[in-house]
DNA sequence: CCGCGGGCCTGCGCGC
DNA sequence: TGCGCGCAGGCCCGCG
C-alpha cells in the first residue's frame, strides 16, 4: 500500500496516538525483514517517550526524547495497526513488530512479503543514514515547482515514467501516482525527461502535487490492504483515472481515448495515448 | 547514464 | 477442487 499518500496517512493516524507517550516494550518477532532488524532496537527505545512522528519520502520516523529515531518503511505489503495489547492468540503470522505503549495501546507492524524495513539511527544524524543519503526532493515542499523539475530533468535520456519513480530525483511517487500524475499533466509516460520545457514541467509539477494532495485527502489508496491505522479503507482507488484501467475509456472530458497498459523498466504503466503526448 | 534481468518474499486471481 | 502461472503499491545489485 505504500506510496507517499499512504505513508502520510499512516503518519497522521499515528501522531495523535503516540506523540508524548511512553514506550513500554517493543517485541520483534522476526528480524529478517528486507534488511536485518538491529538487535539493539527494542532495548534502545524501551521506556523512552515519543516526541514526534515524521515522514521523509516513503519512510516513517518515530522520534524519541533520547536522540533516537526509529525508521520504518512499509515495502510493498506493510501495514500499521493501532489496537489494544492482546495475547499471543490475537497475533497473525505476519505481525512482525509489536510496540506496546504505557496504558495498553499496541502498534502492530504487519508485512507478509517482508520487503519492509525497521531500523534506527541517532536523530541528529538522520540525513547521513543510508536510507536518506541519496533521496531527492519532497514533492509537497513549497520549493518543488516546474523550474526545479525542469532542472532535474535537464539532459536526462529516460522516459518520464521511470524518471518519476527514481527516488534520487523526487521522493514518494510510486507506480500508481506516477501514472496518475502523468495523465493529469497530459504527458506520455514514454516522453523523454529532457524534453520538458517550462510549460510541460510546470504542468507536471502541479499534477504531481495535486494528485498526491488529493490522495492524502482521500486517506490513500486501498488495493489489497487498508491504508489507515484504524483499519478503515482509503478511497482514492475509486478516483484512479488510468491506473489498472487498461481498455477503459479515458475519463478526460471529450477525449474518447482508450487506456493502454505498457511495461517500462519492468513495471506497468497506464496511460491514454490520445490525450497524453 | 540507462535499461534489463534477477533477487528479496507471500498472496491473489486466473485459466485449465 | 486443485495446480501452475503471472502479477503485485519498493528497492537494490551487477551487467552490458
Residue A156: active-site member? no
Query: A141-166 pLDDT, tens per residue?
Result: 999 999 999 999 999 999 999 999 99
Nucleotide nearest to A35 (CA to C1'): B8
Query: A217-251 pLDDT, tens per residue?
Result: 999 999 877 778 888 899 999 999 999 999 999 99
Strand partners, A269: A262
Query: A253-275 pLDDT, tens per residue?
Result: 999 999 999 999 999 999 999 99
Nucleotide nearest to A3 (CA to C1'): C9
Residue A228 CB in 7 A reach of strand B: no
Residue A58: active-site member? yes
Note the residue count of chain A.
Answer: 277
Q: Show the beta-strand stretches assigned E in chain A.
A: 23-28, 50-56, 59-64, 68-73, 79-84, 95-101, 105-110, 117-122, 260-264, 267-271
User: Element (H or E) spanning A109, and its range?
Assistant: strand A105-110
pLDDT classification of A198: cutoffs 50, 70, 90: very high
Query: Given this model, what pLDDT does residue A224 score?
Result: 78
Scanning residues 43 through 62 of protein chain A, those with a beta carbon under 7 Å from any atom of strand B turn out to be none
Query: Given this model, what pLDDT does residue A205 score?
Result: 97
Protein CA A67 to sugar C1' C6 (Å)? 46
Amino acid at each position: 500500500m505504500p506510496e507517499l499518500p499512504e505513508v502520510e496517512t499512516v503518519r497522521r493516524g499515528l501522531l495523535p496516538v503516540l506523540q508524548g507517550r511512553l514506550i513500554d516494550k517493543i517485541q520483534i518477532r522476526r528480524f529478517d525483514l528486507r534488511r536485518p532488524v538491529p538487535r539493539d532496537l527494542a532495548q534502545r527505545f524501551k521506556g523512552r517517550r515519543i516526541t514526534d512522528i515524521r515522514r521523509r519520502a516513503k519512510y516513517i520516523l518515530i522520534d524519541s526524547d533520547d536522540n533516537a529515531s526509529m525508521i520504518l518503511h512499509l515495502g510493498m505489503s506493510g501495514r500499521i495497526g493501532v489496537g489494544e495489547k492482546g495475547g499471543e492468540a490475537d497475533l497473525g503470522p505476519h505481525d512482525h513488530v509489536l510496540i506496546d505503549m504505557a496504558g495498553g495501546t499496541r502498534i502492530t507492524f504487519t508485512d507478509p512479503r517482508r520487503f519492509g524495513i525497521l531500523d534506527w539511527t541517532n536523530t541528529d544524524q538522520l540525513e547521513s543514514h543510508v536510507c536518506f543519503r541519496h533521496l531527492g526532493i519532497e514533492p509537497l515542499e513549497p520549493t518543488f515547482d516546474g523550474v526545479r523539475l525542469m532542472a532535474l530533468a535537464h539532459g536526462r535520456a529516460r522516459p518520464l515514467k521511470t524518471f518519476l519513480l527514481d527516488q534520487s530525483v523526487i521522493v514518494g511517487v510510486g507506480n500508481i501516482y506516477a501514472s496518475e500524475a502523468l495523465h493529469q499533466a497530459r504527458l506520455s509516460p514514454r516522453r523523454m525527461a529532457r524534453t520538458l520545457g517550462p510549460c510541460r514541467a510546470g504542468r507536471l509539477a502541479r499534477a504531481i502535487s495535486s494528485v498526491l494532495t488529493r490522495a492524502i485527502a482521500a486517506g490513500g489508496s486501498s488495493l489489497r490492504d487498508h491504508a489507515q491505522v484504524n483499519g478503515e479503507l482509503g478511497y482514492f482507488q475509486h478516483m484512479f483515472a488510468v491506473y489498472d484501467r487498461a481498455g477503459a475509456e479515458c475519463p478526460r472530458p471529450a477525449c474518447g481515448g482508450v487506456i493502454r497498459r505498457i511495461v517500462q523498466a519492468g513495471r506497468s504503466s497506464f496511460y491514454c495515448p490520445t490525450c497524453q503526448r
